[in-house]
Structure 1
Amino acid sequence: MLVLEKDEMVQNFIAQQNDLKEHISLQNNFLENQISLVAGLDIAYWHKNNKEYGACCIQVFDFRSKNLIEQVSYINEITVPYISGFLAFRELPLILEAVKKLKTQPSLYMFDGNGYLHKRHMGIATHASFYLKKPTIGVAKTYYKIENIDFTMPENIAGAFTDIVIDGEVFGRTLRSRKNVKPIFVSCGNWIDLDTATNITMHFIDKDSRLPIPVRYADLATHQARKLHQDDV
Protein backbone atom coordinates (compact mmCIF):
# COMPACT_ATOMS: atom_id res chain seq x y z
CA MET A 1 0.00 0.00 0.00
CA LEU A 2 1.34 3.43 -0.93
CA VAL A 3 2.18 5.76 1.97
CA LEU A 4 -0.29 8.36 0.68
CA GLU A 5 -3.11 5.80 0.49
CA LYS A 6 -2.33 4.62 4.02
CA ASP A 7 -2.27 8.19 5.34
CA GLU A 8 -5.66 8.89 3.75
CA MET A 9 -7.03 5.67 5.23
CA VAL A 10 -5.77 6.59 8.71
CA GLN A 11 -7.29 10.07 8.53
CA ASN A 12 -10.61 8.56 7.46
CA PHE A 13 -10.48 6.04 10.31
CA ILE A 14 -9.69 8.77 12.85
CA ALA A 15 -12.60 10.87 11.62
CA GLN A 16 -14.98 7.93 12.02
CA GLN A 17 -13.68 7.15 15.51
CA ASN A 18 -13.95 10.78 16.62
CA ASP A 19 -17.52 10.92 15.38
CA LEU A 20 -18.57 7.74 17.16
CA LYS A 21 -16.82 8.50 20.45
CA GLU A 22 -19.13 11.46 21.02
CA HIS A 23 -21.92 8.91 21.53
CA ILE A 24 -20.20 6.62 24.05
CA SER A 25 -22.06 6.14 27.32
CA LEU A 26 -20.29 4.78 30.40
CA GLN A 27 -23.58 4.17 32.18
CA ASN A 28 -25.66 1.01 32.25
CA ASN A 29 -28.65 1.01 29.94
CA PHE A 30 -29.90 -2.20 31.58
CA LEU A 31 -30.43 -3.79 34.99
CA GLU A 32 -28.03 -6.58 35.90
CA ASN A 33 -30.94 -8.95 36.52
CA GLN A 34 -32.02 -8.37 32.93
CA ILE A 35 -28.90 -10.07 31.55
CA SER A 36 -29.80 -13.51 30.23
CA LEU A 37 -27.25 -14.42 27.54
CA VAL A 38 -23.66 -13.20 27.26
CA ALA A 39 -21.60 -13.66 24.09
CA GLY A 40 -17.83 -13.95 24.02
CA LEU A 41 -16.13 -12.95 20.78
CA ASP A 42 -12.62 -13.29 19.37
CA ILE A 43 -10.82 -13.37 16.00
CA ALA A 44 -7.77 -15.29 14.81
CA TYR A 45 -5.74 -14.63 11.65
CA TRP A 46 -3.51 -16.56 9.26
CA HIS A 47 -1.83 -16.11 5.89
CA LYS A 48 -2.09 -18.37 2.86
CA ASN A 49 -1.12 -17.80 -0.77
CA ASN A 50 -0.18 -14.18 -0.07
CA LYS A 51 -3.62 -13.46 1.39
CA GLU A 52 -4.73 -12.93 4.97
CA TYR A 53 -7.75 -14.66 6.44
CA GLY A 54 -9.64 -14.31 9.70
CA ALA A 55 -11.98 -16.48 11.75
CA CYS A 56 -14.49 -14.78 14.04
CA CYS A 57 -15.95 -17.07 16.70
CA ILE A 58 -18.82 -16.25 19.03
CA GLN A 59 -19.71 -18.35 22.07
CA VAL A 60 -23.01 -17.58 23.82
CA PHE A 61 -23.46 -18.49 27.48
CA ASP A 62 -26.39 -18.41 29.86
CA PHE A 63 -25.56 -15.79 32.47
CA ARG A 64 -26.92 -17.69 35.47
CA SER A 65 -26.01 -21.30 34.71
CA LYS A 66 -22.87 -20.40 32.74
CA ASN A 67 -23.76 -23.14 30.29
CA LEU A 68 -22.81 -22.84 26.61
CA ILE A 69 -25.96 -22.15 24.60
CA GLU A 70 -24.74 -21.48 21.07
CA GLN A 71 -21.56 -21.16 19.04
CA VAL A 72 -21.02 -19.78 15.55
CA SER A 73 -18.08 -18.80 13.37
CA TYR A 74 -17.44 -16.90 10.18
CA ILE A 75 -14.31 -17.04 8.03
CA ASN A 76 -13.26 -14.73 5.23
CA GLU A 77 -10.37 -12.87 3.67
CA ILE A 78 -9.10 -9.76 5.45
CA THR A 79 -8.79 -6.75 3.17
CA VAL A 80 -7.89 -3.96 5.61
CA PRO A 81 -4.21 -3.85 6.67
CA TYR A 82 -3.21 -3.96 10.31
CA ILE A 83 -2.71 -0.43 11.67
CA SER A 84 -2.28 0.03 15.41
CA GLY A 85 -5.31 1.70 16.98
CA PHE A 86 -7.69 0.80 14.14
CA LEU A 87 -8.34 -2.88 14.72
CA ALA A 88 -12.12 -2.52 14.40
CA PHE A 89 -11.90 -1.66 10.72
CA ARG A 90 -10.28 -5.05 10.07
CA GLU A 91 -12.55 -7.04 12.33
CA LEU A 92 -16.02 -5.52 12.00
CA PRO A 93 -16.87 -7.17 8.66
CA LEU A 94 -16.17 -10.61 10.17
CA ILE A 95 -17.97 -9.80 13.41
CA LEU A 96 -21.16 -8.59 11.76
CA GLU A 97 -21.35 -11.63 9.48
CA ALA A 98 -20.81 -13.98 12.42
CA VAL A 99 -23.54 -12.22 14.42
CA LYS A 100 -25.99 -12.77 11.56
CA LYS A 101 -25.59 -16.51 12.09
CA LEU A 102 -26.74 -16.38 15.72
CA LYS A 103 -30.15 -17.83 16.52
CA THR A 104 -30.06 -16.42 20.05
CA GLN A 105 -30.04 -12.75 21.02
CA PRO A 106 -27.22 -11.98 23.49
CA SER A 107 -27.92 -9.35 26.12
CA LEU A 108 -24.28 -8.31 26.15
CA TYR A 109 -21.04 -8.97 24.25
CA MET A 110 -17.59 -9.51 25.77
CA PHE A 111 -14.60 -8.98 23.48
CA ASP A 112 -11.09 -10.37 23.64
CA GLY A 113 -9.67 -6.87 23.30
CA ASN A 114 -10.08 -3.31 24.53
CA GLY A 115 -12.94 -0.87 24.58
CA TYR A 116 -12.60 2.52 26.26
CA LEU A 117 -8.95 1.66 26.97
CA HIS A 118 -7.82 3.21 23.69
CA LYS A 119 -6.26 6.57 22.86
CA ARG A 120 -9.53 7.72 21.28
CA HIS A 121 -11.70 5.45 23.48
CA MET A 122 -12.57 3.43 20.38
CA GLY A 123 -11.21 -0.06 20.89
CA ILE A 124 -13.00 -2.93 19.18
CA ALA A 125 -15.49 -3.48 22.04
CA THR A 126 -16.63 0.14 21.89
CA HIS A 127 -16.57 0.51 18.12
CA ALA A 128 -18.54 -2.69 17.54
CA SER A 129 -21.21 -1.71 20.06
CA PHE A 130 -22.64 0.87 17.68
CA TYR A 131 -23.33 -1.87 15.14
CA LEU A 132 -24.40 -4.57 17.60
CA LYS A 133 -26.60 -2.10 19.51
CA LYS A 134 -25.87 -3.96 22.73
CA PRO A 135 -23.76 -3.24 25.83
CA THR A 136 -20.16 -4.40 25.44
CA ILE A 137 -17.10 -5.12 27.58
CA GLY A 138 -13.45 -5.28 26.57
CA VAL A 139 -11.26 -7.89 28.26
CA ALA A 140 -7.64 -7.89 27.11
CA LYS A 141 -4.87 -10.32 27.98
CA THR A 142 -2.11 -7.76 27.40
CA TYR A 143 -1.82 -4.08 28.24
CA TYR A 144 -2.33 -1.46 25.54
CA LYS A 145 -0.07 1.38 26.65
CA ILE A 146 -1.34 4.91 26.04
CA GLU A 147 0.84 8.02 26.37
CA ASN A 148 3.56 5.89 27.94
CA ILE A 149 1.44 5.32 31.05
CA ASP A 150 2.00 1.98 32.80
CA PHE A 151 -0.56 0.16 34.89
CA THR A 152 -0.21 -0.46 38.63
CA MET A 153 -0.15 -4.12 39.58
CA PRO A 154 -3.08 -5.02 41.85
CA GLU A 155 -2.74 -7.11 45.02
CA ASN A 156 -2.36 -10.84 44.57
CA ILE A 157 -5.96 -11.46 45.59
CA ALA A 158 -8.80 -12.61 43.35
CA GLY A 159 -10.93 -9.58 42.50
CA ALA A 160 -8.26 -7.01 43.37
CA PHE A 161 -7.90 -4.18 40.85
CA THR A 162 -6.28 -0.86 40.12
CA ASP A 163 -7.71 1.76 37.80
CA ILE A 164 -5.80 2.88 34.72
CA VAL A 165 -5.82 6.68 34.89
CA ILE A 166 -4.51 8.84 32.05
CA ASP A 167 -4.62 12.63 32.26
CA GLY A 168 -7.02 12.37 35.18
CA GLU A 169 -9.49 10.10 33.38
CA VAL A 170 -10.14 6.42 34.12
CA PHE A 171 -9.62 4.48 30.89
CA GLY A 172 -9.96 0.97 32.27
CA ARG A 173 -9.01 -1.38 35.06
CA THR A 174 -6.21 -3.84 35.79
CA LEU A 175 -7.98 -6.83 37.34
CA ARG A 176 -6.50 -9.78 39.21
CA SER A 177 -9.14 -12.31 38.27
CA ARG A 178 -7.47 -15.15 40.16
CA LYS A 179 -4.70 -15.40 42.74
CA ASN A 180 -1.22 -16.12 41.39
CA VAL A 181 -2.06 -15.35 37.76
CA LYS A 182 -1.25 -12.38 35.54
CA PRO A 183 -3.88 -9.62 35.59
CA ILE A 184 -6.28 -8.93 32.77
CA PHE A 185 -7.36 -5.52 31.52
CA VAL A 186 -11.06 -4.67 31.65
CA SER A 187 -12.63 -1.64 30.02
CA CYS A 188 -16.11 -0.49 29.24
CA GLY A 189 -17.26 -0.96 25.71
CA ASN A 190 -20.45 1.04 25.64
CA TRP A 191 -23.68 1.42 27.63
CA ILE A 192 -22.10 -0.03 30.76
CA ASP A 193 -20.14 1.30 33.72
CA LEU A 194 -16.74 0.01 34.80
CA ASP A 195 -17.91 -1.51 38.10
CA THR A 196 -20.60 -3.52 36.30
CA ALA A 197 -18.14 -4.58 33.62
CA THR A 198 -15.79 -5.78 36.38
CA ASN A 199 -18.57 -7.63 38.22
CA ILE A 200 -19.70 -9.43 35.08
CA THR A 201 -16.11 -10.35 34.23
CA MET A 202 -15.55 -11.80 37.70
CA HIS A 203 -18.88 -13.64 37.55
CA PHE A 204 -17.53 -15.67 34.62
CA ILE A 205 -14.09 -16.48 36.08
CA ASP A 206 -13.57 -20.15 36.90
CA LYS A 207 -10.66 -22.21 38.22
CA ASP A 208 -9.30 -23.04 34.76
CA SER A 209 -8.45 -19.60 33.40
CA ARG A 210 -7.80 -15.98 34.27
CA LEU A 211 -10.17 -15.02 31.43
CA PRO A 212 -13.95 -14.95 31.79
CA ILE A 213 -15.55 -18.07 30.33
CA PRO A 214 -17.17 -16.44 27.24
CA VAL A 215 -13.89 -14.81 26.15
CA ARG A 216 -11.82 -17.89 26.97
CA TYR A 217 -14.05 -20.19 24.94
CA ALA A 218 -14.14 -17.74 22.04
CA ASP A 219 -10.34 -17.58 22.10
CA LEU A 220 -10.07 -21.38 22.06
CA ALA A 221 -12.62 -21.62 19.25
CA THR A 222 -10.66 -19.24 17.04
CA HIS A 223 -7.52 -21.36 17.39
CA GLN A 224 -9.50 -24.47 16.47
CA ALA A 225 -11.09 -22.72 13.49
CA ARG A 226 -7.74 -21.49 12.26
CA LYS A 227 -6.22 -24.96 12.54
CA LEU A 228 -9.19 -26.50 10.74
CA HIS A 229 -9.44 -24.02 7.89
CA GLN A 230 -6.02 -22.63 7.16
CA ASP A 231 -5.15 -25.61 4.98
CA ASP A 232 -8.57 -25.62 3.28
CA VAL A 233 -8.92 -22.01 2.15
Structure 2
Amino acid sequence: MLPTRPEFVPDSSQSREEMESMQLDVADAATWDDDFGFEVEAVGLADWAPDDAPLVAGVDQAFLDDRAVSVVVVMRGGRVIERASAVVDLEIPYIPGLLSFREGNPILAAFEELEATPDLVVFDGSGRIHFRQAGLATHLGVVLDVPSIGVAKSLLCGTPREGVDGRPAGWRTEILAGGRVENADSGEVIGHAYQSRQYDNEPIVNPLYVSPGHRVSVPTATDLVARLCGKYKLPEPTRRADSYADEAKSSVES
Protein backbone atom coordinates (compact mmCIF):
# COMPACT_ATOMS: atom_id res chain seq x y z
CA MET A 1 0.00 0.00 0.00
CA LEU A 2 1.64 3.21 -1.20
CA PRO A 3 1.03 6.91 -0.46
CA THR A 4 -1.56 8.64 -2.61
CA ARG A 5 -0.62 12.10 -1.31
CA PRO A 6 3.20 12.02 -1.50
CA GLU A 7 3.39 15.77 -0.94
CA PHE A 8 2.39 15.09 2.68
CA VAL A 9 4.86 12.28 3.38
CA PRO A 10 6.62 13.32 6.62
CA ASP A 11 10.03 14.91 6.05
CA SER A 12 12.24 14.81 9.13
CA SER A 13 14.75 17.19 7.53
CA GLN A 14 12.29 20.08 7.77
CA SER A 15 12.50 22.72 10.45
CA ARG A 16 9.98 22.64 13.27
CA GLU A 17 8.15 25.58 11.68
CA GLU A 18 7.95 23.73 8.35
CA MET A 19 6.65 20.59 10.05
CA GLU A 20 3.95 22.51 11.88
CA SER A 21 2.98 24.30 8.66
CA MET A 22 2.66 20.94 6.88
CA GLN A 23 0.42 19.68 9.68
CA LEU A 24 -1.93 22.62 9.15
CA ASP A 25 -2.05 21.76 5.44
CA VAL A 26 -2.73 18.10 6.30
CA ALA A 27 -5.60 19.12 8.57
CA ASP A 28 -7.04 21.25 5.74
CA ALA A 29 -6.84 18.21 3.42
CA ALA A 30 -8.44 15.84 5.93
CA THR A 31 -12.13 14.94 5.82
CA TRP A 32 -13.90 14.52 9.15
CA ASP A 33 -17.14 13.24 7.68
CA ASP A 34 -18.00 9.59 7.11
CA ASP A 35 -16.59 8.64 3.72
CA PHE A 36 -16.14 4.89 3.51
CA GLY A 37 -17.69 2.00 1.65
CA PHE A 38 -18.91 -0.24 4.47
CA GLU A 39 -21.64 -0.27 7.09
CA VAL A 40 -20.57 0.47 10.66
CA GLU A 41 -22.53 -2.62 11.78
CA ALA A 42 -20.35 -4.78 9.51
CA VAL A 43 -17.31 -4.06 11.71
CA GLY A 44 -16.82 -6.41 14.63
CA LEU A 45 -14.81 -9.27 16.05
CA ALA A 46 -16.86 -12.33 15.09
CA ASP A 47 -14.75 -15.23 13.81
CA TRP A 48 -17.53 -16.05 11.35
CA ALA A 49 -17.31 -12.66 9.61
CA PRO A 50 -18.12 -13.10 5.90
CA ASP A 51 -15.45 -12.77 3.23
CA ASP A 52 -16.76 -9.34 2.23
CA ALA A 53 -16.59 -7.96 5.78
CA PRO A 54 -14.43 -4.83 6.12
CA LEU A 55 -10.69 -5.25 6.55
CA VAL A 56 -9.52 -3.34 9.63
CA ALA A 57 -5.82 -2.71 10.19
CA GLY A 58 -4.12 -1.99 13.50
CA VAL A 59 -0.81 -0.12 13.57
CA ASP A 60 1.78 -0.06 16.33
CA GLN A 61 5.53 0.13 16.88
CA ALA A 62 8.29 -1.13 19.13
CA PHE A 63 11.70 0.48 19.43
CA LEU A 64 15.21 -0.91 19.33
CA ASP A 65 18.00 1.56 20.03
CA ASP A 66 17.55 4.20 17.31
CA ARG A 67 15.30 2.05 15.12
CA ALA A 68 11.53 1.66 14.90
CA VAL A 69 9.97 -1.75 14.40
CA SER A 70 6.69 -0.81 12.72
CA VAL A 71 3.89 -3.29 12.15
CA VAL A 72 0.47 -3.49 10.52
CA VAL A 73 -1.99 -6.25 11.41
CA VAL A 74 -5.05 -6.66 9.18
CA MET A 75 -8.16 -8.35 10.53
CA ARG A 76 -11.49 -9.43 9.06
CA GLY A 77 -13.80 -9.85 12.01
CA GLY A 78 -11.84 -11.74 14.65
CA ARG A 79 -9.41 -13.33 12.18
CA VAL A 80 -5.95 -12.02 11.30
CA ILE A 81 -5.66 -11.90 7.51
CA GLU A 82 -2.17 -10.46 7.09
CA ARG A 83 0.74 -9.04 9.07
CA ALA A 84 3.52 -6.81 7.76
CA SER A 85 6.52 -5.17 9.40
CA ALA A 86 9.50 -2.95 8.68
CA VAL A 87 12.58 -1.87 10.62
CA VAL A 88 13.65 1.70 9.89
CA ASP A 89 16.12 4.09 11.46
CA LEU A 90 14.63 6.94 13.47
CA GLU A 91 15.89 10.31 12.28
CA ILE A 92 14.64 12.73 14.95
CA PRO A 93 13.88 12.55 18.69
CA TYR A 94 10.37 12.55 20.09
CA ILE A 95 8.86 16.04 20.04
CA PRO A 96 5.32 16.44 21.44
CA GLY A 97 2.92 17.19 18.58
CA LEU A 98 5.36 16.05 15.87
CA LEU A 99 5.14 12.28 16.33
CA SER A 100 4.28 11.65 12.68
CA PHE A 101 7.61 13.12 11.57
CA ARG A 102 9.48 10.68 13.81
CA GLU A 103 7.38 7.57 13.24
CA GLY A 104 5.50 8.24 10.01
CA ASN A 105 8.04 6.93 7.51
CA PRO A 106 8.72 3.72 9.46
CA ILE A 107 4.96 3.07 9.48
CA LEU A 108 4.66 3.83 5.77
CA ALA A 109 7.47 1.33 5.16
CA ALA A 110 5.38 -1.36 6.88
CA PHE A 111 2.38 -0.42 4.73
CA GLU A 112 4.55 -0.86 1.62
CA GLU A 113 4.99 -4.52 2.63
CA LEU A 114 1.23 -5.02 2.90
CA GLU A 115 -0.67 -6.82 0.14
CA ALA A 116 -4.19 -6.21 1.48
CA THR A 117 -5.91 -2.85 1.20
CA PRO A 118 -7.59 -2.05 4.54
CA ASP A 119 -11.01 -0.45 4.63
CA LEU A 120 -10.16 1.18 7.97
CA VAL A 121 -6.92 1.79 9.86
CA VAL A 122 -6.71 2.21 13.64
CA PHE A 123 -3.54 3.93 14.87
CA ASP A 124 -1.98 3.88 18.32
CA GLY A 125 -1.93 7.67 18.55
CA SER A 126 -4.03 10.78 18.06
CA GLY A 127 -6.07 12.05 15.13
CA ARG A 128 -7.90 15.37 15.56
CA ILE A 129 -7.04 15.47 19.27
CA HIS A 130 -3.84 17.31 18.40
CA PHE A 131 -2.52 20.87 18.61
CA ARG A 132 -3.01 21.34 14.85
CA GLN A 133 -5.70 18.64 14.41
CA ALA A 134 -3.14 16.54 12.53
CA GLY A 135 -1.94 13.74 14.77
CA LEU A 136 -0.42 10.51 13.49
CA ALA A 137 -3.79 9.04 12.44
CA THR A 138 -4.74 12.17 10.51
CA HIS A 139 -1.35 12.67 8.89
CA LEU A 140 -0.92 9.10 7.66
CA GLY A 141 -4.65 8.71 6.94
CA VAL A 142 -4.37 11.63 4.51
CA VAL A 143 -1.08 10.38 3.03
CA LEU A 144 -2.64 6.96 2.33
CA ASP A 145 -6.15 8.39 1.75
CA VAL A 146 -7.64 5.68 3.94
CA PRO A 147 -10.38 5.98 6.58
CA SER A 148 -8.48 6.19 9.84
CA ILE A 149 -8.96 6.60 13.59
CA GLY A 150 -6.57 7.60 16.33
CA VAL A 151 -6.78 5.82 19.69
CA ALA A 152 -4.50 7.31 22.33
CA LYS A 153 -3.93 6.25 25.92
CA SER A 154 -3.43 9.81 27.17
CA LEU A 155 -4.94 13.18 26.31
CA LEU A 156 -2.62 15.41 24.27
CA CYS A 157 -4.88 18.48 24.27
CA GLY A 158 -8.52 19.49 24.51
CA THR A 159 -10.84 19.27 27.50
CA PRO A 160 -13.31 16.49 28.43
CA ARG A 161 -16.86 17.76 28.83
CA GLU A 162 -17.15 15.63 32.01
CA GLY A 163 -14.73 14.11 34.47
CA VAL A 164 -13.30 10.80 33.25
CA ASP A 165 -12.26 8.99 36.45
CA GLY A 166 -13.85 5.66 37.35
CA ARG A 167 -16.45 5.58 34.60
CA PRO A 168 -18.25 2.32 33.67
CA ALA A 169 -17.52 0.36 30.52
CA GLY A 170 -19.24 1.83 27.48
CA TRP A 171 -19.26 5.40 28.80
CA ARG A 172 -18.05 8.28 26.65
CA THR A 173 -17.79 12.04 26.83
CA GLU A 174 -16.86 14.64 24.24
CA ILE A 175 -13.41 16.20 24.03
CA LEU A 176 -13.70 19.92 23.32
CA ALA A 177 -11.08 21.96 21.52
CA GLY A 178 -9.59 24.77 23.56
CA GLY A 179 -6.99 27.45 23.09
CA ARG A 180 -4.23 24.92 22.36
CA VAL A 181 -6.01 23.51 19.30
CA GLU A 182 -5.45 25.64 16.21
CA ASN A 183 -8.22 26.40 13.71
CA ALA A 184 -10.98 25.13 16.00
CA ASP A 185 -13.61 26.90 18.07
CA SER A 186 -13.17 26.45 21.82
CA GLY A 187 -16.34 24.36 22.08
CA GLU A 188 -15.80 22.29 18.94
CA VAL A 189 -15.93 18.53 19.46
CA ILE A 190 -12.73 16.87 18.25
CA GLY A 191 -13.06 13.41 19.81
CA HIS A 192 -14.22 11.37 22.79
CA ALA A 193 -12.91 9.93 25.99
CA TYR A 194 -14.21 6.37 25.74
CA GLN A 195 -14.25 3.88 28.60
CA SER A 196 -13.76 0.57 26.86
CA ARG A 197 -13.37 -1.59 29.98
CA GLN A 198 -13.83 -1.31 33.73
CA TYR A 199 -13.63 -3.95 36.45
CA ASP A 200 -15.01 -4.04 40.00
CA ASN A 201 -12.07 -5.99 41.40
CA GLU A 202 -9.23 -4.29 39.51
CA PRO A 203 -7.50 -0.91 39.76
CA ILE A 204 -9.41 1.79 37.92
CA VAL A 205 -8.97 1.55 34.15
CA ASN A 206 -8.41 4.88 32.43
CA PRO A 207 -10.36 5.73 29.25
CA LEU A 208 -9.10 5.76 25.69
CA TYR A 209 -9.00 9.02 23.75
CA VAL A 210 -10.58 8.43 20.36
CA SER A 211 -10.54 10.89 17.48
CA PRO A 212 -11.05 10.72 13.72
CA GLY A 213 -7.99 10.67 11.53
CA HIS A 214 -9.41 10.95 8.02
CA ARG A 215 -12.73 10.14 6.31
CA VAL A 216 -14.45 9.34 9.63
CA SER A 217 -16.61 11.58 11.84
CA VAL A 218 -16.19 12.04 15.58
CA PRO A 219 -19.22 9.95 16.68
CA THR A 220 -18.57 7.22 14.12
CA ALA A 221 -14.92 6.93 15.15
CA THR A 222 -15.94 6.07 18.70
CA ASP A 223 -18.75 3.77 17.54
CA LEU A 224 -16.23 1.83 15.45
CA VAL A 225 -13.71 1.59 18.28
CA ALA A 226 -16.46 0.32 20.58
CA ARG A 227 -17.21 -2.44 18.07
CA LEU A 228 -13.52 -3.37 17.92
CA CYS A 229 -12.93 -3.65 21.67
CA GLY A 230 -13.24 -7.22 22.87
CA LYS A 231 -12.18 -8.52 26.28
CA TYR A 232 -9.39 -5.99 26.63
CA LYS A 233 -9.01 -2.22 26.92
CA LEU A 234 -7.46 -1.66 23.49
CA PRO A 235 -9.24 -2.23 20.18
CA GLU A 236 -8.35 -5.72 19.00
CA PRO A 237 -6.49 -4.65 15.82
CA THR A 238 -4.11 -2.39 17.77
CA ARG A 239 -3.81 -4.93 20.59
CA ARG A 240 -2.76 -7.54 18.04
CA ALA A 241 -0.38 -5.02 16.47
CA ASP A 242 1.18 -4.29 19.87
CA SER A 243 1.79 -8.00 20.39
CA TYR A 244 3.21 -8.45 16.89
CA ALA A 245 5.50 -5.44 17.33
CA ASP A 246 7.06 -7.11 20.37
CA GLU A 247 7.40 -10.35 18.39
CA ALA A 248 9.01 -8.57 15.43
CA LYS A 249 11.37 -6.70 17.76
CA SER A 250 12.46 -9.97 19.37
CA SER A 251 13.23 -11.47 15.94
CA VAL A 252 15.42 -8.47 15.13
CA GLU A 253 17.28 -8.76 18.43
CA SER A 254 17.92 -12.50 18.05
Q: Is the 8 A contact 1:154 1:162 kept in 2?
A: no
Inter-partner Cα distance in structure 2 for 1:31 and 1:70 = 21
Which structure 2 residues correspond to residues 37-116 of structure 1 after superposition, within 5 A? 37-47=55-65, 52-62=66-76, 65-116=77-128
Give the one of 211, 214, 220 matched to 2:237.
214
Shift of 1:158: 2.2
Q: Which residue of 1 aligns with 2:146?
A: 134
Q: Is the 8 A contact 1:55 1:94 kept in 2?
A: yes
Inter-partner Cα distance in structure 1 for 2:111 and 2:213 = 17
Report the count of equivalent residues: 217
Letter paired with 1:158: A
Q: Which residue of 2 aligns with 1:205?
A: 229
The two structures have a TM-score, normalised by structure 1, of 0.86
Shift of 1:174: 0.4
Inter-partner Cα distance in structure 1 for 2:238 and 2:75 = 10
**Which secondary structure state, in structure 2, belongs to the residue aligned with residue 22 of structure 1?**
helix
Q: Please, which runs of 5 or more residues in structure 2 have no aligned partner?
A: 1-11, 43-52, 178-185, 200-204
Inter-partner Cα distance in structure 2 for 1:20 and 1:204 = 27
Identical counterparts, % of pairs: 32
The two structures have a TM-score, normalised by structure 2, of 0.79
Q: Is the 8 A contact 1:155 1:161 kept in 2?
A: no
Shift of 1:9: 1.3
Inter-partner Cα distance in structure 2 for 1:88 and 1:42 = 13
Give the one of 29, 35, 50 matched to 2:35.
29
Q: Which residue of 2 aligns with 1:3?
A: none
Inter-partner Cα distance in structure 1 for 2:37 and 2:88 = 36
Shift of 1:176: 0.7
Inter-partner Cα distance in structure 1 for 2:15 and 2:246 = 30
Which structure 2 residues correspond to residues 109-124 of structure 1 after superposition, within 5 A? 109-124=121-136
Give the one of 160, 166, 177 matched to 2:171.
160
